[in-house]
Amino acid sequence: MLFIFSPFQSPYANVALEHYLIHNFKDEFLILYINHKSVIIGKHQNAFAEANFNFIKKNNIPIVRRISGGGAVYHDEGNLNIAIIKNNSKINISDLIVPILKFLETIGIYAVQNTKNDILIKNKKITGTAAHIFKNRSLYHSTLLVNASLDYLKEALKSEKDKFLSKSIASKPSPVTNLIFELNYIFTFDDVVSAIKKYLCEYFNIKSDYHLSDNDIYFIENLVKTKFSTWQWNYGYSPAFVYKDNINQIAIECRVVNGIIESWALLI
């Protein structure tokens, strides 16, 4: 297994990085990355139903669709993302959750895994996970709320799901906390990054770092341009849905396919 600390903070680039590594290499990887403010949604989610559009537009927060399933999460510079890519065609999310739980023990934190494969501290979520399979390779990745803006998280993910009718995967909000809130001593974000990198590299017996070449970066940036930053991927890929709302006391219903209104009607 090789270690990569992503040189990108663009959420589009880090989604593209995971896609590039799982599709174009035979090596196994441990990857750490940090994204700018963003709402990251699961591959099969309805982008229109998962975020507070007034809030994210005002604060220039993009919606970015990842290649794995699962629900919507908020990322910022206080959120550490951890991913592993393994040569395994069967999902075993414990390959990622177990070492994170063991790392937390080393810094005095007792945490548990719930049935949704989240990691909880005192019944509050600190880590969510998702997975993706490509042929005989698997990607497992997770968030780790270290010192994220929980106010931004709450507002960005506040949506009106009851107005949407579809077969998409809907997020189920959970109470959350930051790792630094649960520690009995001062631990900065950089301290956490350094400590978890050291622990996970020892856990996975990683001896070498992998530094992206100019060629790697060229292909990743091309994936960003042609797919991962496009409206068609982030919004148009949403499953078909029906949207109902009352506008100025007028009830309206719209059917949306591939992100485009196919038909609409006034309800009397």
| Integer CA distances (angstroms), 91 to 1, 34, 185, in order | 18, 24, 36
Domain residues for the domain of 175 are 2-239
Give the model's pLDDT for residue 163: 82
Contact 131, 9 (CB under 8 A): no
Q: Is residue 245 part of a domain?
A: no
**193-216 as b/e: b if 16+ CB within 10 A:** beebbebbbebbebeeebebeeeb
- Rounded distance between C-alpha atoms, residue 16 and residue 222, angstroms: 9
Separation of alpha carbons 249 and 230, rounded Å: 35
What is the C-alpha to C-alpha distance for residues 153 and 146, in angstroms, rounded to an integer? 13
Q: Is residue 158 part of a domain?
A: yes
**Count of the separate structural domains present in the chain:** 1
Q: How much is the pLDDT for 8?
A: 98
The angle that helices 11-24 and 214-223 make with each other, rounded to 10 degrees, is: 110
Q: Note whether 180 and 146 are within 8 A (CB).
A: yes
Identify the CATH number of the domain in which residue 121 sits: 3.30.930.10
* Matching residue, tokens 């990743």: 220
Q: Is the Cβ–Cβ distance between 49 and 167 less than 8 Å? A: no
- Please report which residue ranges of 3-80 form alpha helices under DSSP H: 11-24, 53-58
Distance CA 222, CA 229 (A): 10
Q: What is the pLDDT of residue 104?
A: 96
Angle between helices 94-106 and 189-203 (to 10 degrees): 120
> What pLDDT, on the 0 to 100 scale, is given for residue 81?
98
Would you give the distance in Å from CA 33 to the centre of its chain? 11
Chain centroid to Cα 28, Å, comes to: 20
Residue 258 lies in a domain: no
- Please, which residues have CB within 8 angstroms of residue 100's CB and are 6 or more apart in sequence? 82, 119, 127, 142, 144, 196
Predicted confidence at residue 54, as pLDDT, reads 94
Is residue 246 included in any domain, yes or no? no
pLDDT at 131 (0 to 100): 96
pLDDT for 267 equals 74
- Predicted local distance difference test score (pLDDT) of residue 107: 94
In a domain, 248, yes or no: no
Instruction: Report how far residue 243's alpha carbon sits from residue 131's, in angstroms, rounded to the nearest whole number.
Output: 29
pTM for the full predicted model: 0.92
Task: State the virtual CA torsion across 9, 10, 12, 15 in degrees, nearest 10.
Answer: 0
Is residue 135 situated within a structural domain?
A: yes
Q: What is the pLDDT of residue 268?
A: 59
| pLDDT means over runs of 10, the chain (268 residues) | 98 98 97 98 94 96 96 97 94 93 95 94 95 95 97 93 76 88 89 96 96 98 98 94 78 85 76
